[in-house]
Amino acid sequence: MSREKILAAVKFNQPTANPLPDMEVLNTLTDVRTELLAKYKTIATAGGSFVYEVSGFDEIKTILKNEFKPGVKIISALDELSDYIYADTVKHEDGHTFADVELTVLRTNLGVAENGALWLTEKEMGSRVLPFIAQHLAVVIGKDDFVPTMAQAYQTIGEADYGYGSFISGPSKTADIEQSLVIGAHGPRSLSVFILL
């Protein structure tokens, strides 16, 4: 019905074929040897993230214990943190039960220096809603896991098969009221990034 009608109209009206542009220049333009880590730190911090360089998970635990009161609901699928937080298998059916989660800690292996974005898929999240519904979000990433721009980020992702994935570049924010920046719109009120050195 409408499908055929729309496709026929589009086919009739579309211009003659124009080729896709070459992407190679954009892919290689950015000097990959630039100080990625320094650039990421500057941009992520400007975007409202707290960036920590840490030697290992013990240091992460120390920092988190300082920041979060004992007894609050903290969820993570990271085995390395199992003695500190609830690290059971997270299922998406539990989505609504995460409403009182104070902190969730996730792991990624792709960060983007030019915009502070961290790539997380459903696999790392456990439940899609978790990095949004938690009051605070922390992400662990290795120091060698950064790429310069989104061009390289999509090269890294390649043809990966995921049900859902998101680039997250900071805490949830809004500037809808008179362009005043407010951190903590609907999602996490803070994003802490732990870079494993």
Partner 1 sequence: MSTATTKDHPHLAAEFNRDEPRVNWHDETLWWVRAKRDIAAHKLPEWELLRETASQIKLNVLSNLSTYLEQFEANAIKNGIIVHWAADAAEHNQIVHNLLEQRGITKMVKSKSMLTEECHLNEYLKEQGIDVIDSDLGERIVQLANEPPSHIVLPCIHKKKEEIGDIFHEHLGSAKGESDPKILTETARQHLREVFLTRRAALTGVNFAVAETGEFVICTNEGNADMGAHLAEIHIASMGIEKIIPERKHLGVFLRLLTRSATGQPITTYSSHFSKPQDGTEIHIVIVDNGRSIQLGREEFRNSLKCIRCGACMNTCPVYRKSGGHSYHTAVAGPIGSILAPNLDMKKYADLPFASTLCGSCSNVCPVKIDIHDQLYKWRQVIVKEGYSPKTKTMAMKAMALTLASPTLYRMGGKTGRLVFKYAPFAVNNKLNPWYNQREMPKAPDESFGEWYAKRKGAKNS
Interface residue with partner 1, options 45, 54, 73, 184 (CB under 8 A): 184
Nearer to partner 1, 81 or 112 (CB): 112
Interface residue with partner 1, options 43, 103, 139, 141 (CB under 8 A): 43
Q: What angle do CA 153, 60, 156 make, to 5 degrees?
A: 10
Sole window of 17-25, 51-59, 62-70, 102-110 interacting with partner 1 (rule: CB under 8 A)? 17-25
* Cα gap 43→40, rounded to integer Å: 5
Contact string 101-140 vs partner 1 (x = CB under 8 A) = -----------x-xxxx----x----xxx--xx-------
Alpha-carbon separation of residue 94 from 71, 82, 105, 107, 117 (angstroms): 20, 19, 17, 20, 27
- Is residue 7 near partner 1 by the rule CB under 8 A? yes
Cβ at position 2, least distance to partner 1 in Å: 4
- Which amino acid appears at position 181 of this protein? L
- Is residue 38 near partner 1 by the rule CB under 8 A? no
Question: Of residues 56-75, which lie at the interface with partner 1 (CB under 8 A)?
Answer: none
Considering only CA atoms, give the Rg of the chain.
20
- Is residue 23 near partner 1 by the rule CB under 8 A? yes
* Cα gap 175→188, rounded to integer Å: 16
- Which amino acid appears at position 22 of this protein? D
Interface residue with partner 1, options 3, 69, 70, 71 (CB under 8 A): 3
* Cα gap 147→113, rounded to integer Å: 6
Question: Of residues 144-173, which lie at the interface with partner 1 (CB under 8 A)?
Answer: 149-151, 153-155, 157, 159, 162-173
**Burial level of 25, CB count in 10 A (0-12/13-18/19+)?**
exposed
Nearer to partner 1, 84 or 152 (CB): 152
